[in-house]
Amino acid sequence: MKKWIPFLVVLLLALSSAKWLRAAQDSALPDAAYVNGVVGHPQQYNLSCESRSAADWAAYFGVTLDEASFLWNLPRSDNPDVGFVGSANDVWGYTPPYSYGVHAAPVAQLLRNYGLQATAYRGATWDNLRAEIVNGRPVIVWVIGSVWPGVAQPYTAVDGQQTTVAAYEHTMILVGYDPTSVYLVDASSGLVTAHGVADFLSSWAVLGNMAVMAGDGRFTSAATTATYTVQPGDSLLAIAARFNLSWHELAALNNLATPDVIFVGQILRLPGAVAEESVPAVPAPTTPTAAATYTVQPGQYLLQIADDLGMAWQTIAELNNLVPPQYIVYPGQVLQLPGDVAAAPAPVEAAPQTIYTVQSGDTLFKIATRFGLDWPTLAQYNGIVYPYQIYAGQSLQIP
């Protein structure tokens, strides 16, 4: 009976947290919000996603952590609710007792040891996450792979404690949402990635809606009474002047790490002193008429293409429904160009690509490391999707 006591205590605490968190939901949450200033970095080890997310999350709150040091300071256990399971350099995708990673509770505890306000939650809700974002606090979330579907598995540790695990356990930092998408800093690449809300909620639910928050998951209505959506041609200075604010105040309220960079469609929070009815109506921009097309070449990005064509990148983004904050384009994509472009210039012939022929025993991780890349970039560049299989003799393009 004694061996069940710790598990029962954890279960009761989890249920209590879940019940309290559900009670904290608030229908007044805005439809969209974004936390600026979270800077991601790619994880250093195969299984160090939690430590990478913790370090980037802590940096947002002004505490500098080293990913490797944080990883080594986590307790070790065969139970991820107690400590890190396995070796950080082992292959990703297994479940305990094989190398796996760590769940929210040990991560939150170690963050508190560094002086941060961090609480681990199971059974959190979508409203709890959104409330944190609205209040300007990013959230570490546990998902499956790159927000994949997954299968929860019961696991009993050596000491008899029980928990739930899943293959390809992974962490990301939630930094924003809108009615259709969530925006996550992926620990594997350090990049902000956009995913459908339904896909995210499904993946997040596999491990029981696990998260580390700096707040309590409740919406603080006093935090802001209005928001403003950035329009084409806006600048932070112009927006601040419109609401009789200083741009420094507006930048600080929205955690803008680089105040000179805002993007069309970005949701900016306004101070509580700005009444909602005082937000001036901005006429919806007219979508340009498409008259020509341009095919994206390997290695190109939106700003570069716009400069080559002599037009604003925001115009191309709007016409092609490219979404913030990354405005991703990919090789071979056909972009519509506005009606005032008589004819798009012929694409510049791409530089010769480095081709690598897969050898027996190769993995994406090994090949990417050989060329100084991370494996998700190599996979995306070659159109390789889950379960990321390659075969001997296959030709891979190297970015």
Give the pLDDT band (50/70/90) at residue 195. very high
Contacts of 319 (CB under 8 A, 6+ apart): 287, 288, 290, 335, 336, 337, 338
Higher per-residue pLDDT: 261 or 320: 320
- Give the C-alpha separation, 350 to 298, whole Å: 7
Same domain, 232 and 312: no
- Residue 268 sits in a domain whose CATH number is 3.10.350.10
Tell me: cis bond preceding 324? Omega within 30 of 0 counts.
no
As for how many domains the chain has, the answer is: 4
Note whether residue 219 is domain-resident.
no
| Tokens found for residue 393 | 């003799």
Higher per-residue pLDDT: 4 or 89: 89
Tell me: cis bond preceding 80? Omega within 30 of 0 counts.
no
Note whether residue 349 is domain-resident.
no
- Give the C-alpha separation, 1 to 146, whole Å: 39
Give the pLDDT band (50/70/90) at residue 395. confident
Note whether residue 345 is domain-resident.
no
Same domain, 189 and 324: no
* Residue 51 in this model has a pLDDT that exceeds 90: yes
| Tokens found for residue 305 | 């293409």
* Residue 6 in this model has a pLDDT that exceeds 90: no
Same domain, 230 and 130: no
Per residue in 120-179, pLDDT (tens digit) is 999 999 999 999 998 889 999 999 999 999 999 999 999 899 999 999 999 999 999 999
Average pLDDT, the chain: 79
Higher per-residue pLDDT: 330 or 290: 330
Note whether residue 348 is domain-resident.
no
pLDDT at 7: 45
Note whether residue 296 is domain-resident.
yes
Same domain, 310 and 387: no
Same domain, 200 and 232: no
Same domain, 57 and 199: yes
- Residue 43 sits in a domain whose CATH number is 3.90.70.10
Note whether residue 28 is domain-resident.
yes
pLDDT at 311: 76
Higher per-residue pLDDT: 86 or 304: 86
Same domain, 198 and 80: yes
Same domain, 270 and 233: yes
Judging by DSSP bridges, how do beta strands 169-177 and 33-34 pair with one another?
A: antiparallel
Higher per-residue pLDDT: 323 or 143: 143
Note whether residue 344 is domain-resident.
no
Higher per-residue pLDDT: 340 or 163: 163
SS3 sequence of 36-62 = CCCCCCCCCCCCCHHHHHHHHHHHHCC
Same domain, 202 and 136: yes
Give the pLDDT band (50/70/90) at residue 333. confident
Give the pLDDT band (50/70/90) at residue 313. confident
Q: The whole model's pTM is what?
A: 0.57
Same domain, 19 and 78: yes
pLDDT at 239: 83
Same domain, 144 and 238: no
Note whether residue 359 is domain-resident.
yes
Same domain, 158 and 46: yes
The domain in which residue 165 lies consists of 2-213
- Give the C-alpha separation, 194 to 179, whole Å: 12
- Give the C-alpha separation, 145 to 142, whole Å: 9
